[in-house]
Amino acid sequence: MIQFDNVSKQYRDGTKAVDSINLHIKEGEFFVIIGPSGSGKTTVLKMINRLIPLTSGTIFINGKRISDYDIHELRWDIGYVLQQIALFPHMTIGENIAIVPELKNWEQVKIKERIDELLEMVGLEPDIYRIRKPHELSGGQQQRVGVTRALAANPPIILMDEPFSALDPISREKLQDDLISLQKKIKKTIVFVTHDMKEALKLGDRICVMKDGEVVQIGTPEELLAHPENEFVRQFVGEGQGPYIEGFSLHEILLPISEPEESMAVLPASASLEETLSLLAAHNEIAVEEDGEFIGLVDRQTVIRKLAGSMRREVKS
């Protein structure tokens, strides 16, 4: 879907923001890019829709160089959600959402239907919110509109640059949950930049850890937690921070199960976190066995949410 081939970005003062990176982002994947400030993660994101020109290398979308696309058509087919929501204040919510469909000459009836469909999808009553102005909405509601605007013309790719970082913790967690549910329905290719590891673990199908313009490790949340590439990744992910790993128990996160399929992987209830994560790297669901009986199952999302929640408690304490 999106391929980076030895891509670099160097500025005139000699600063190298991105250094010869290679990435392959799969179609329909929720791909998270994470790293400390100055790691190059936002530069990588903005090079995809040519907001920042690359210095060397090539980026392909569906096998075609991005430089070969008409720049307007390229950006119309890539939704973009920012931390600064950037809704037009003088326009209604409906008018904000309609911008790209109108640029693409959609019929008005189709545009209205799309606006209502998207507002309902993110939990905003169309008859109420379609005619409101941005200042009449809360920060969380405005960010929901930002997501709908990015989805308005049904683009195959969505870029999200720290979209929830300015929100309060409750609104942020709610929008994360909503985005997970939404992605199950729309199955877009999402490239999501964050500096928050617990957010990355919760949302990402795969996570790309960057440092000083280079890719340090790419893997699933389970792979990063169980097998960090080096000390930087280990510390960034938070391995060894104490209770949230030491106190891990499969009993706390069991989901009901009647009878597992023959092909389903099986873990003993006494399995460690590392054993669980290693098996989840290859299987979405695992049956849990105790004393010769199946007592439930665990899945990737439940384990990652458990870890992310424990990490939050660890930080607060």
- Write out pLDDT tens, residues 5-50: 999 999 999 999 999 999 999 999 999 999 998 999 999 999 999 9
Do 107 and 256 fall into the same domain?
no
The predicted-structure confidence for 81-92, as pLDDT tens digits, reads as follows: 988 777 999 999
Total residue length of the chain: 317
The predicted-structure confidence for 127-155, as pLDDT tens digits, reads as follows: 999 999 999 999 999 999 999 999 999 99
Give yes or no for residue 315 having a pLDDT over 70: no
Q: What single-letter DSSP state applies at residue 133?
A: -
Task: Work out the average pLDDT over 164-192.
Answer: 90
User: Order of strands across the sheet with 56-61?
Assistant: 16-25, 2-10, 56-61, 64-65
What does pTM read for this prediction? 0.81
The predicted-structure confidence for 249-302, as pLDDT tens digits, reads as follows: 888 888 888 777 888 899 999 888 778 888 887 888 899 999 888 899 998 878
- Residue type for 17, please? A
* Residue percentage of the chain with pLDDT more than 70: 94
Do 92 and 145 fall into the same domain?
yes
- Residue type for 125, please? E
pLDDT: which is higher, 174 or 57: 57
The structure tokens 């405005």 sit at 142
Do 180 and 290 fall into the same domain?
no
Out of 221, 237, 253, pick the residue that ends a domain. 237
Alpha helices in the chain (DSSP H): 41-48, 71-76, 93-97, 99-103, 108-121, 126-129, 139-151, 169-186, 197-203, 221-226, 231-237, 243-246, 273-280, 300-316
Helix or strand (DSSP H, E) at 4: strand 2-10
Do 306 and 195 fall into the same domain?
no
Do 167 and 283 fall into the same domain?
no
The structure tokens 């440092």 sit at 211
Out of 177, 212, 237, pick the residue that ends a domain. 237
3-state SS class at 316: helix
pLDDT at 236: 84
Do 120 and 249 fall into the same domain?
no
Do 189 and 258 fall into the same domain?
no
Distance CA 210, CA 38 (A): 9
Do 298 and 156 fall into the same domain?
no
For the chain, the C-alpha Rg in angstroms (whole number) is: 21
List phi, psi (to 5°) of 260.
-70, 150
CATH of the domain at 272: 3.10.580.10
Give yes or no for residue 244 having a pLDDT over 50: no
Do 168 and 256 fall into the same domain?
no
Do 136 and 228 fall into the same domain?
yes
Do 141 and 260 fall into the same domain?
no
Q: What single-letter DSSP state applies at residue 26?
A: P
Distance CA 117, CA 110 (A): 10
The structure tokens 């992910």 sit at 237
Q: Which residues contact 10 (CB under 8 A, 6 or more apart)?
A: 16, 17, 55
Please count the structural domains in the chain: 2
Out of 237, 266, 292, pick the residue that ends a domain. 237
Distance CA 160, CA 192 (A): 5
Q: Do residues 41 and 200 touch, judged by C-beta distance below 8 A?
A: no
Residue range(s) defining the domain that contains residue 265? 243-316
Do 218 and 247 fall into the same domain?
no
CATH of the domain at 119: 3.40.50.300
